[in-house]
Structure 1
Amino acid sequence: MSRFLGLTHGGTDAGPPVLHDFSTNAHPLGPPPAALDAVLRADRLRYPDPAYASLRARLGAWHDATPDRIVPASGGAEAIRRLTLAAMLSGMTRVCVPRPGFGDYAAAAHALGLQVEVYADAFELAASLDLPALVWVCDPCNPTGASFGAAEWGAIARALGQSGSQLVVDQAYEPMRLTGASALPQAIADGAWRLVCPNKGLGLTGVRGAYLLAPADGLWIDRVNELAPSWVLSAEGQALLEAWTTPSIREDLEASLPLLREWRDAQWSRLTAMGFDQIGGGVANFWLAALPAPWRDAPEPLLDGLRALGIKLRDATSFGLPGLVRVSVQAPEAVDALEAAMRTYTARTPMPRPASPIAASTTPSPRTSGPASDRPSGPDASPRPTSPDDAWLETI
């Protein structure tokens, strides 16, 4: 069996239903009602327009771009594979990917026999760009939640120009950025391919739909379109992408972010009390954490035991980070369940609950916003350095 058939992912697996899923980066409140309604009303009786003309026009207007720059895809993973193939057919032989990072970048390159170079940060990437390459940047980055600043983007821009490399910015997690704003300069964005995956922010990851925004100069756009299968988007996928630009749905998403920030801060404090050593510096709705000391060297018994109880954490071993997990922001009742399960496995007395503005008994109803919290010292603290090993098969 191909090693790539065994790519590890968060979310649904072959086990029983997950009741409290900290392993997926989807919006914990689920979809805005209007977005779900749009998907459910999709016309399944007819083929979509194979050119997706109205969808391209709608998304183009949203990005202040011409419709021909919009390339629909059946999901982020499909877009990654197709764009990598287009790069190869255009003469690229090298692909640069973040480590730790989403494993499909490297998997797509390896499947085509391309040379894969890994980088740990923007300055290491810039220093390595001495020959043309397809360069993947995930911002905010999975699994760390880290985001490049102006100096980092500047270093990358200079290296791209000197090496003749092509940048791709994966913005799948931008809609749930909980701290600050993207520092990606418009000039760099205009010269890059950008990947947008609305199903995460809309809490509809089972609906496969994404799109690429091509560079302003149209590099490779004809080839990328030619490589798409007919009807690359289902009716539901098209409805999802159309809903993405609906003002009321965007307002709903924005209104949910203050609540997610409060949940993040409270969850950070409670995980610390459980013995997790959390790694700050991220800006997204997820972060890395070292397991409590008894399980760092052998995490399987704990992770398997939690999974049997319907709780899933994302084992970071496949990111080259054994003993760590990626956790996403979840509702307080999910953290309650995790805390109770951790007491079972540690045989500890109940852990004191830190003071928190959010309590499980007073959880706001879905898709309502709470008061914004101050920038926390925990999740936003500078990350400690990590040293991932050679296991590059990282995934979502």
Structure 2
Amino acid sequence: MNPPLLPEHGGPDDGPTAAFDFSTNASPLGPPPALLAAVQAADRRLYPDPAYRALRRRLGHDELVLPTAGGAEGIRRLTLAALLAGHREVWVPQPGFGDYALAARALGLAVKPYALPADITPQAPALVWICEPCNPTGASVPAWPALDGHMVIVDRAYEPLRLQGSTPALPPGAWQLVCPNKALGLTGIRAGYAIAPAADAVWAHALSLAPSWVLSAEGVAMLTHWPSDDTQRWLADARATLRDWTAAQRALLADLDWQQRASDTNFWLARPPRPDYALRLRERGIRVRDAASFGLEGWVRVSAQPPAAQQALQQAVLEIEGEDS
């Protein structure tokens, strides 16, 4: 029997809680006060409407909105729906979020990694995953090919955390997977939604594959307040703060001789002077995301954090360098 295919994530481990967590790509500023109040007031005594009719109308495209228990559940369900609709290969960004490939491999589908849009050359009807902006790089692509005849899903989890540039034109007829919890700083609430381009066979499969009550009362409350004007104003202010913190943190890491890659978001890839920094920082209560599972040995993913956290990171790095000198 083959061992199970298990995802590898950053975030909490079985050690002490990190005092400063640079590993998460969620916003450190959330959640918006009004939205948090709505989540806390959610009525847990009753089942939500299993069809989520009011929520789907609130999110727009009500007939084509599919609530999901976060992005990971959406990835699994949509991959199975694609298989049932006849797709046999799955194209995934590399580096990229590992769940795209794991969901495909669990179903026996061929996985085809790509680094650039020009690398996507399906030989048969395929499922193509686009993460825009991409995790773990935070980078964006200027333009995407049409990819006619294939099922394209754009993971837009990090679009609300785009700090520069504009959203590129996406392939026509693409699905969209929306996961607001990262931008809201509420990753513990597993709630998102997909928007289908049409009520086709894939949409029907994805709808029928959903578990009953895929969203909790808290999830419904979060998504109901997601499109509100006050939430969107709060997000605009948060992005302005994150731009300042990102610039300061990049300057700090440059002074410490860390290599850094370009990014359009609040997170990016960095390479410390020595490969053991992730472990040694963790020993000091600071977590960064080791990028080895993305195929990037020696690199880490960091996110912009408040000034006090940046000062703690600087002090810890200087201590490590002092021990090695």
Superposition TM-score tier, normalisation by shorter sequence = over 0.9
Q: How far is 1:135 from its partner?
A: 0.1
The equivalences for 1:84-95 within 5 A come to: 84-95=79-90
1:262 Cα offset (Å): 0.9
Q: How does 1:1-396 map to 2 (within 5 A)?
A: 2-5=3-6, 7-60=7-60, 65=61, 67-125=62-120, 128-150=121-143, 153=144, 156-157=145-146, 160-161=147-148, 164-185=149-170, 188-189=171-172, 191-216=173-198, 218-280=200-262, 282-292=263-273, 295-296=274-275, 299=276, 302-347=277-322
- Mapped contact 1:208–1:237 kept (Cα < 8 A): yes
Decide whether the 8 Å contact of 1:133 with 1:165 is kept in 2.
Answer: yes
Tell me the TM-score normalized by structure 2: 0.96
Distance in 1 (alpha carbons) for counterparts of 2:138 and 2:104: 23
Quick one: distance in 1 between partners of 2:19 and 2:11? 11
Say whether the 8 Å CA contact 2:178–2:192 is kept in structure 1. yes
Number of aligned residue pairs: give it.
Answer: 323
**Distance in 1 (alpha carbons) for counterparts of 2:63 and 2:319:** 56
Distance 2:181 2:151 in 1: 26
The one-character-per-residue Cα deviations of 1:155-195 (angstroms, maximum 9, x if unpaired) are x21xx22xx2111000000001000110124xx35x01100
Residues 59-110 of structure 1: CA distance to partner in whole angstroms, max 9, x if unpaired?
Answer: 01xxxx3x11100001100000000000001111100000000000000000
SS state of the match for residue 267, structure 1? helix
The question of whether the paired residues in 2 share the 8 Å contact of 1:69 and 1:218 is answered with no
Report sequence identity in percent.
Answer: 52
Once residues 99 and 89 of structure 1 are traced to their aligned partners in structure 2, the CA distance between those partners, rounded to angstroms, is 25
**Comparing 212-221 with 34-43, which one deviates more in the overlay?**
212-221
Checking the alignment, whether the CA contact within 8 Å between 1:276 and 1:291 is kept in structure 2 is: yes
* Gap regions ≥5 residues in structure 1: 350-396
Mapped partners of 1:249, 1:167: distance in 2: 29
Separation of aligned partners in 1, 2:4 and 2:114: 22
CA RMSD of aligned residues (A): 1.5
Q: Distance in 2 between matches of 1:26 and 1:179?
A: 17
Structure-1-length-normalised TM-score: 0.79
* Kept after mapping to 1: 8 A contact 2:88/2:124: no
Compute the displacement of 1:305 (Å). 2.2
Residue identity in the other structure for 1:166: M
